A and B are shown apart, each in its own frame.
Chain A
Amino acid sequence: MIKSKFSWANLYLIFIFVLLYVPILYLIFYSFNQAGTMNEFTGFTTEHYEALAGDTRLIRIALDTFRVALVSSLLATVIGTLGAIGIFFVRQRRTQSTILGLNNVLLVSPDVIIGASFLLLFTMAGFRLGFYSVLFSHIAFSIPIVVLMVLPKLQEMNTNMITAAKDLGANNWQVLKSVIIPSIKPGILAGYFMAFTYSIDDFAVTFFVTGNGFATLSVEIYSRARQGISLEINALSTILFIVALGLVSGYYFVQQQQRNRKRKLTDVDPTNHQKAVTP
């Protein structure tokens, strides 16, 4: 009885799994199609990849996208991590939850609202739309993500360590550098990864603040997809899929390693009472 029920469950899971992957694999499959359409597979070719390699406009846009993602996620990580530390050390509970509420405004707002209000901000300030407006917008919507990733690690942190460090004569900078940052490192890394992927994937906000001269991959794919099928986009999606796979596995590898290291650390942790009492 139980056995047959379980196989139904597995069947359902496999069905959902296939459903989620069919469109992606479909794109990748037809990127090798000689016919140049996504309907009939007439023969294997890599010509669309060659076309992609020769498309200087698209390559420039891809590089721009990565540049924006790298810089914005880095700056967002720095500002967000320091912000999270600031929030953590706020004494009053009410102030803390108010700041957290403000922090979450950009996380829950629909992309369209963020995009439109940023567009208003940039035009009212007389800021030219282009690379920098996109960069600043990406930093802005990445910061709350970093804060959310770092804050739980701060709450897990052993605050006695800070007191101990101060007792031993460390100044604030040393406390930050040698005690706080090392213990929240996994959170910072996770925040950086999330900010990076949010930046790469963003379409709506970028679409509003990008102006004429500058485009990211999402915006470019949108304008090309409106014109119809071009297998160059398929080839591009294969590459982006591999990049995403790499990022995800890299992220999980790093997390796994952190977890293992933590386990090793707790084995020799002098504050571990069992060990301390029975040497």
Chain B
Amino acid sequence: MVVHHQPIPAPPPYVSPEPFAPYGIAAVELSDEKLVVLGQVADDAELRIGTEVEVVLDTLYEDDDHTYVVWKWAPV
């Protein structure tokens, strides 16, 4: 796994929370499927390369009608 920290917001169509919160992005190797998948790090947890993670569903953003969810990576 490779992880990095994004200290400033991406431009739209990224929907930034208000106020903006820095977020981590991890490249995670799935051992059985043998592929690497990018995802945000849930709760901006402090991850290190080699940490085992699992997929969680977390809020991407909300509007008046819906809460949109997305996959994220969280430490096991």
- Do A and B form a real pair? no
A interface with B by C-beta (< 8 Å): none
